[in-house]
């Protein structure tokens, strides 16, 4: 077997040291970040829960308001129908004279 040249040895040592140093820097620089992309801090989760609760409350209020508007529209339709029938009856009876 041939002996390793001095250049090859130091190149290999430098390459290994660079890889280990790069891995160490990468790990130490990312320790403060969440471990997964889906992970969130507790304050963010609490804020999201509050926003979700507000949206749910707004949806419930809007649904209730929509139900009230539907009832009002039905009542208006009945009143309009009754008024139209009165007008038609008046026209029919007025035309007989």
* pLDDT for residue 18: 93
10-residue mean pLDDT series, the chain (97 residues): 78 92 83 62 74 86 92 94 93 74
* pLDDT for residue 1: 45
46 and 24 share a domain? no
* pLDDT for residue 20: 92
Cα separation of 18 and 24, whole Å? Answer: 10
14 and 56 share a domain? no
50 and 80 share a domain? yes
**Quick check: 34 and 41 in contact, CB under 8 A?**
yes
CA 88, 91, 94: angle at the middle one, nearest 5?
145
Is 36 part of a structural domain of the chain? no
Cα separation of 41 and 43, whole Å? Answer: 5
* pLDDT for residue 8: 86
Could you tell me the pTM of the whole model?
0.42
46 and 23 share a domain? no
Cα of 75 vs its chain's centroid, Å? 37
Q: Mention every residue, 6+ apart, whose C-beta is less than 8 A from residue 36.
A: none
Q: Which domain holds residue 17?
A: 1-31
16 and 53 share a domain? no
27 and 52 share a domain? no
In the chain the first and final C-alpha atoms are separated, in Å, by 130
23 and 48 share a domain? no
Is 86 part of a structural domain of the chain? yes
* pLDDT for residue 54: 85
Is 63 part of a structural domain of the chain? yes
């Amino acid at each position: 077997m041939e002996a390793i040249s001095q250049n090859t040895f130091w190149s290999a040592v430098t390459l290994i040291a660079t890889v280990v140093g790069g891995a160490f820097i990468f790990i130490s620089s990312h320790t403060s970040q969440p471990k997964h992309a889906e992970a969130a801090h507790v304050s963010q989760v609490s804020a999201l829960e509050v926003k979700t609760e507000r949206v749910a409350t707004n949806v419930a209020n809007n649904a209730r308001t929509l139900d009230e508007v539907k009832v009002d529209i039905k009542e208006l339709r009945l009143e309009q129908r009754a008024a139209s029938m009165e007008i038609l009856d008046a026209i029919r009876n007025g035309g007989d004279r």
